[in-house]
């Protein structure tokens, strides 16, 4: 281990952290840690040291747990990450012969998991679902693999997949892997233009798609988009011979689908006719597995290329440790397979571990914002992995329940008053049993409705109350049976009155328990579901601001579930900096420490490694098995984009701080850093400060030219539903930033935003925000890839409000 690594590790003294930052540390429960794969920080350090000092030994040991037709040769890995020493080159387990599909399916079946559910598929509409066991999945994969072979797809050929989250998407990926074909999944939210661009780049022999998909209340005719893309790419000289189309008949019938004879084939017409077994194409560890396009800051998308062996070992291992995966877990990742998260942590990582995976076709807020938790309860999901953007949007949905909090309390008070009257017997005597009973029950019913029956039943008080109420009723019925007229049942009055009083008293107690329950009900969309099955939560895609982290932790996980805030990239293949749940205390918003084998370094502009607490550019020293090997067809761009800014390192493009305890805090892409009067401010920092304001739902900050400060801070702010724009609020938002970061970080402009321009994967498109902020409205560029292009017009309209 190098000196710098030693000193970095020495900086991580958790006892010190506990003493100094007690408020910020979320300590795992003893019970969780005891049962975790990595139960303590010491245990982690031991393994981490091994992985850094002896990568070959460490990773060979893990790789041996997979099936290899032939073991890898020596050296276990070879690398050159220094552009000054020549071509950038990374290889792991070269000479090892394996197949990732075989390791996902056949080996798990052989290990006794044939009947275990591999995929729980949940459709867009609640109630529409399906499952596949490992055996069934293998059958389906083999049939498609046989079909692909039959139409001439061979090892190394590219297959483009443009499918929504149907089971056919992972099936198609695995079928390609089985025969050694290179899949290139394009997220089924991309436009025809983007699709044709990718088709022309990787020149697939076949495109696999479906006719249409329902996402939330919308139907999207994917086949039309593919038709346009194929026409465009044919014009550009790339002709695709076959378009295999799955009939998703819940969205669109065959008859209504446009068809190109000779090129188009219905999946259901051909694939099921093929045998359900298919020999594996054994490939070298360094043979390509897939291509995945990711956008650069400018120009054409980059085809990130991952190979087989290292990626397999790395995704499986990161999945196991970062989620503390156990065979009894039910795992759900909300990402689409069109992104790297869906590759590594919907498909390969979990299936390599023999996990049961939920694959969800729909939108997380359809038909209502409780859908995610409905799914969690339905499948008893224990590991839930999602993106901060979803967390924040669900957080926002809770606000309508804030009104019901007030209403609930009002009802509780009214009921309390009524019941006191009843309890004292006055009301009872004046009005007669039946009327007061009516009031009593309607009060109770309204409470039950407010909280949802389950919520009310959950409270011990309410249970007690219901029991006592039944007892009271029993007494009353008995009396009524004797005397028919309640006013005349004098001999039983005392018993009756006492039991009813007692019931009222219990309801009173229930009222007192209303307050905490009502507070919980603020986030009713979450709390009306049990979520008891949840054990571990995960976050990915962007920095998670501490307030979203806390909401996720407190409300979704009921303060019981550690959150794995996993920092990684399309390029890295798998997690790089991530908590290992149970191994160390968490700090809300920090991705914490590097995964085994990963050596993050923070460098300054000159590429000098910074020590101790610091901020700078996040680079990685040395390779790790899951690293991408090249940009498809453009190794030079690979070298210049990632390895030339700081020679000797892989440059991530992200900014990062390390605190005195060694925790890593990702601050966003470095192109999103704003330099105000010489102070470097992470947009994420300002956003986090804004979002911590109770009336701010979401914020996006960009830098604009400022004649005095160099750059000024321009903040787009989405308010909590129902909160009106006002100058006072503007001031208090600025104050929130001044208070949390410092006066130098105070936004120069707050731009009210009914919504933010986001890609369909949920990333805010700052490029567009920057143009709006700079009033360069004629340079907005392509807005068609936005989830809601209408947002741009709304923002422009509000520019001077």
- Is the Cβ of residue 352 or residue 666 nearer to ligand 6R9 in the bound state? 666
- State which residue, 456 or 591, has the beta carbon closest to ligand 6R9: 591
Q: What residues pair up with 184 in beta bridges, in sequence order?
A: 160, 291
Instruction: Give me the least distance between CB of 539 and ligand 6R9, in Å please.
Output: 6
By CB under 6 A, is residue 540 in contact with ligand 6R9? yes
580 binds ligand 6R9 (CB under 6 A): no
294 binds ligand 6R9 (CB under 6 A): yes
Where does this chain touch ligand 6R9 (CB under 6 A) — which range of 65-73, 98-106, 241-249, 561-569?
561-569
Tell me which of 21, 24, 671, 748 is the catalytic residue: 671
Report the residue count for the chain. 801
Tokens matching residue 556: 């979704």
**Cα(693)–Cα(178) distance, integer angstroms:** 51
Residues 573 and 628 sit within 8 Å (Cβ to Cβ): yes
* Strand partners for 293: 303
Residue 577: CB minimum distance to ligand 6R9, A? 8
| 721 within 8 A of 400, measured Cβ to Cβ | yes
Nearer to ligand 6R9, 455 or 672 (CB): 672
Q: How far is the CB of 271 from ligand 6R9 (least distance, A)?
A: 31
Residue 577 bridge partners (DSSP): 567, 594
**Segment interacting with ligand 6R9 (CB under 6 A) among 139-147, 403-411, 472-480, 650-658:** 650-658
Distance CA 333, CA 158 (A): 26
User: Does 185 contact ligand 6R9 by CB under 6 A?
Assistant: no
591 near ligand 6R9 (CB under 6 A): yes
Compute the distance between CA of residue 796 and CA of residue 776 in angstroms, rounded to an integer: 11
Nearer to ligand 6R9, 300 or 402 (CB): 300
Residue 538 engages ligand 6R9 in binding (rule: CB under 6 A) = no
Among 98, 356, 408, 566, contact with ligand 6R9 (rule: CB under 6 A): 566
Q: Can you list the positions of beta strands (E) in 134-286?
A: 158-162, 182-185, 206-210, 213-215, 218-220, 242-246, 264-266, 283-284
662 to 701: interface string for ligand 6R9, x by CB under 6 A:
----x--x--------------------------------
The CB-of-789 to ligand 6R9 minimum distance in angstroms stands at 21
**In degrees, to the nearest 5, what angle opens at C-alpha 384 toward C-alphas 525 and 25?**
90
The answer to whether 185 and 127 are in contact (CB under 8 A) is no
Rule CB under 6 A: choose which of 565, 609, 659, 687 binds ligand 6R9: 565
393 alpha-carbon distance from chain centroid? 12
CB of 351 to ligand 6R9, least distance (A): 18
Work out which of 308, 393, 436, 570 binds ligand 6R9, going by CB under 6 A. 570
Q: Does 340 bind ligand 6R9 (CB under 6 A)?
A: yes
- Cα–Cα distance, 423 to 637 (Å, whole number): 80
**DSSP track, 299-315:** SSPEEEEEESHHHHHHH
Distance of CA 319 to the CA centre of its chain: 14
The span of 239-247, 488-496, 566-574, 639-647 binding ligand 6R9 (CB under 6 A) equals 566-574
CB of 548 to ligand 6R9, least distance (A): 12
d(CA 618, CA 620): 7
Residue 761 Cβ, how far from ligand 6R9 at the closest point, in Å?
7
- CA 733 to chain CA centroid, Å, is 28
Q: Which pair of structure tokens corresponds to residue 388?
A: 């901060």
- Say whether 565 is catalytic: no
Residue (585 or 682) nearer to ligand 6R9, CB: 682
- By three-state DSSP, how is residue 164 classified? coil
- Closest contact distance (angstroms) between CB of 279 and ligand 6R9 is 34
Q: Does 404 bind ligand 6R9 (CB under 6 A)?
A: no
Q: Which of helix, strand or coil describes residue 31?
A: helix
Q: What is the DSSP letter of 240?
A: -
325 binds ligand 6R9 (CB under 6 A): no
* Closest CA relative to residue 498, chosen from 515, 475, 480: 475
Sole window of 147-155, 336-344, 673-681, 708-716 interacting with ligand 6R9 (rule: CB under 6 A): 336-344
Q: Is 567 in the site for ligand 6R9 (CB under 6 A)?
A: yes
Site string for ligand 6R9, 144-183 (x = CB under 6 A): ----------------------------------------
Distance CA 34, CA 413 (A): 45
The stretch near ligand 6R9 (CB under 6 A) out of 276-284, 314-322, 563-571, 603-611 is 563-571
Q: Which helix (H) or strand (E) holds 691?
A: helix 683-691
Q: Which of 455, 542, 685, 698 binds ligand 6R9 (CB under 6 A)?
A: 542
Measured from the CB of residue 197, what is the shortest distance to ligand 6R9 in angstroms? 18
Is 222 a binder of ligand 6R9 (CB under 6 A)? no
H or E element at residue 771: helix 766-773
192 near ligand 6R9 (CB under 6 A) = no
Residue whose C-alpha is closest to residue 658's, from 577, 542, 597, 758? 577
Helix (H, G, I), strand (E, B), or coil: what is residue 248? coil
Stretch that binds ligand 6R9, among 146-154, 199-207, 405-413, 540-548 (CB under 6 A): 540-548
By the rule CB under 6 A, 619 interacts with ligand 6R9: no
What is the distance, to the nearest Å, from the Cα of residue 338 to the centroid of all Cα atoms in its chain? 14
Instruction: Name the residue among 27, 674, 626 with its Cα closest to residue 344.
Output: 626
Retrieve residue 251's tokens. Answer: 């969205």
**Which residues in 29-51 are b (16+ Cβ under 10 Å) and which e?**
eeebbeebbbbbbebbbebbbbb
Give the Cα separation of 48 and 318 in Å (integer): 13
Identity of the residue, 169 or 591, whose beta carbon is nearer to ligand 6R9 in the bound complex = 591
- 180 close to 287: Cβ distance less than 8 angstroms: yes
Give the residue with the Cβ less far from ligand 6R9, 72 or 339. Answer: 339
DSSP string covering 104-128, please?
Answer: IIIHHIIIIITTSEEEEEE-SSTT-
Piece in contact with ligand 6R9 (CB under 6 A), picked from 15-23, 250-258, 534-542, 597-605: 534-542
End-to-end CA separation in angstroms for the chain: 57
| Stretch in the footprint of ligand 6R9 (CB under 6 A) among 50-58, 339-347, 350-358, 393-401 | 339-347
Select the residue interacting with ligand 6R9 from 364, 543, 579, 600 (CB under 6 A).
543
| Nearest distance in Å: CB 339, ligand 6R9 | 6
Residue 297 C-beta: closest distance to ligand 6R9, Å:
12
* Spatial separation of the C-alpha atoms in residues 348 and 605, rounded to whole Å: 37
φ/ψ of residue 274, rounded to 5 = -85, 155
User: Given the complex with ligand 6R9, which of 569 and 640 has the nearer CB atom?
Assistant: 569
The verdict on 760 binding ligand 6R9 (CB under 6 A) reads no
- The contact pattern for ligand 6R9, residues 341-360, with x = CB under 6 A and - = no contact, is x-------------------
Among 568, 593, 642, 752, binds ligand 6R9 (CB under 6 A): 568
**Residue 749 in contact with ligand 6R9, rule: CB under 6 A:** no
Binding window for ligand 6R9 (CB under 6 A); candidates: 61-69, 321-329, 559-567, 776-784: 559-567
- Helix (H) or strand (E) run with residue 53 in it: helix 41-53
Taking the C-alpha atoms of residue 654 and residue 639, their distance in angstroms, rounded to an integer, is: 17
Beta pairing class for 664-669 and 650-658: antiparallel
The verdict on 569 binding ligand 6R9 (CB under 6 A) reads yes
Contact 355, 113 (CB under 8 A): no
Footprint of ligand 6R9 on this chain (CB under 6 A)? 294, 339-341, 539-543, 565-570, 591, 652-654, 666, 669
Catalytic residues: 671
């Amino acid at each position: 281990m190098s000196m710098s690594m030693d000193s970095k590790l020495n900086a991580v003294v958790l006892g010190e952290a506990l003493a100094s930052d007690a408020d910020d540390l979320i300590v795992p429960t003893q019970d969780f840690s005891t049962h975790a794969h990595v139960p303590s920080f010491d245990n982690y350090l031991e393994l981490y040291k091994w992985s850094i000092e002896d990568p070959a030994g460490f990773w060979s040991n893990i790789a041996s747990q997979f099936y290899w037709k032939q073991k890898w040769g020596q050296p276990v890995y070879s690398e050159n990450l220094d552009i000054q020493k020549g071509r950038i080159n990374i290889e792991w387990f070269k000479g090892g012969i394996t197949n990732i599909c075989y390791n996902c399916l056949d080996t798990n079946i052989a290990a006794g998991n044939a009947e275990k559910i591999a995929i729980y598929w949940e459709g867009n509409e609640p109630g529409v679902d399906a499952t596949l066991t490992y055996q069934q999945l293998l059958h389906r994969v083999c049939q498609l693999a046989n079909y692909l072979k039959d139409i001439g797809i061979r090892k190394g050929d590219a297959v483009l997949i443009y499918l929504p989250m149907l089971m056919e998407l992972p099936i198609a990926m695995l079928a390609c892997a089985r025969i050694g074909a290179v899949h290139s999944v394009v997220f089924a939210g991309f436009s025809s233009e983007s699709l044709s661009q990718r088709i022309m780049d990787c020149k697939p022999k076949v495109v696999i798609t479906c006719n249409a998909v329902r996402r939330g209340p919308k139907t999207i005719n994917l086949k039309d988009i593919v038709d346009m893309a194929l026409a465009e790419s044919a014009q550009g000289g790339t002709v695709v011979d076959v378009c295999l189309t799955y009939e998703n008949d819940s969205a669109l019938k065959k008859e209504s689908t446009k068809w190109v004879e000779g090129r188009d084939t219905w999946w259901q017409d051909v694939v099921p006719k093929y045998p359900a077994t298919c020999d594996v194409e054994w490939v070298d560890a360094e043979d390509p597995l897939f291509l995945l396009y990711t956008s650069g800051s400018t120009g054409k998308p980059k085809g990130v290329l991952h190979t087989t062996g290292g990626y397999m070992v790395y995704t499986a291992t990161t999945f196991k440790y970062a989620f503390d995966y156990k065979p009894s877990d039910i795992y759900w990742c909300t990402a689409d397979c069109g992104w790297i998260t869906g590759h590594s942590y919907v498909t390969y990582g979990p299936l390599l571990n023999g996990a049961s995976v939920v694959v969800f076709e729909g939108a997380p807020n359809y038909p209502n914002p409780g859908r995610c938790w409905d799914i969690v309860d339905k499948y008893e999901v224990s590991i839930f992995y999602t993106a901060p953007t979803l967390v924040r949007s669900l957080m926002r949905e809770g606000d309508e329940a804030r009104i019901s909090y007030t209403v609930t309390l009002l009802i509780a008070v009214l009921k309390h008053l009524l019941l006191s009257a009843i309890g004292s017997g006055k009301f009872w005597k004046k009005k007669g049993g039946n009327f007061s009973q009516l009031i009593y029950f309607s009060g109770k019913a309204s409470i039950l409705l407010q909280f949802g029956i389950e919520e009310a039943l959950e409270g011990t008080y309410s249970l007690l109350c219901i029991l006592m109420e039944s007892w009271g009723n029993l007494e009353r019925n008995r009396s009524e049976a004797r005397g028919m007229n309640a006013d005349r049942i004098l001999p039983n009055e005392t018993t009756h009155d006492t039991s009813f009083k007692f019931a009222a008293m219990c309801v009173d107690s229930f009222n007192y328990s209303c307050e905490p329950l009502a507070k919980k009900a603020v986030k009713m969309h979450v709390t009306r579901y049990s979520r008891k099955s949840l054990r571990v939560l995960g976050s990915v895609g962007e920095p998670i601001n501490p307030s979203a982290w806390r909401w996720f932790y407190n409300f979704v996980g009921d303060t019981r579930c550690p959150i794995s805030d996993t920092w990684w990239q399309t390029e890295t293949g798998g997690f790089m900096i991530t908590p290992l749940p149970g191994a160390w205390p968490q700090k809300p918003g920090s991705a914490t420490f590097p995964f085994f084998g990963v050596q993050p370094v923070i460098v300054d502009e000159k590429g000098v490694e910074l020590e101790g607490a610091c901020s700078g550019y996040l680079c990685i020293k040395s390779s790790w098995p899951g690293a991408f090997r090249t940009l498809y067809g453009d190794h030079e761009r690979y070298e210049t984009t990632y390895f030339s800014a700081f020679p000797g390192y892989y440059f991530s493009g992200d900014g990062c701080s390390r605190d005195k305890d060694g925790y890593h805090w990702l601050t966003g892409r470095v192109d999103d850093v704003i330099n105000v009067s010489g102070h470097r401010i992470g947009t994420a920092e300002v956003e986090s400060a804004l979002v911590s304001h109770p009336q701010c739902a979401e914020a996006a900050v960009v830098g604009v030219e400022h004649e005095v400060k160099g750059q000024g801070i321009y903040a787009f702010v989405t308010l909590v539903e129902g909160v009106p724009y006002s100058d006072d609020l503007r001031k208090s938002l600025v104050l929130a930033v001044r208070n949390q970061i410092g006066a130098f970080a105070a936004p120069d402009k707050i731009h009210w935003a009914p919504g933010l321009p986001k890609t369909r994967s949920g990333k805010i498109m700052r490029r567009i925000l920057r143009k709006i902020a700079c009033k360069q409205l004629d340079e907005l560029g392509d807005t068609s890839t936005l989830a809601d292009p209408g947002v741009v017009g709304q923002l422009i309209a509000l520019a001077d409000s």
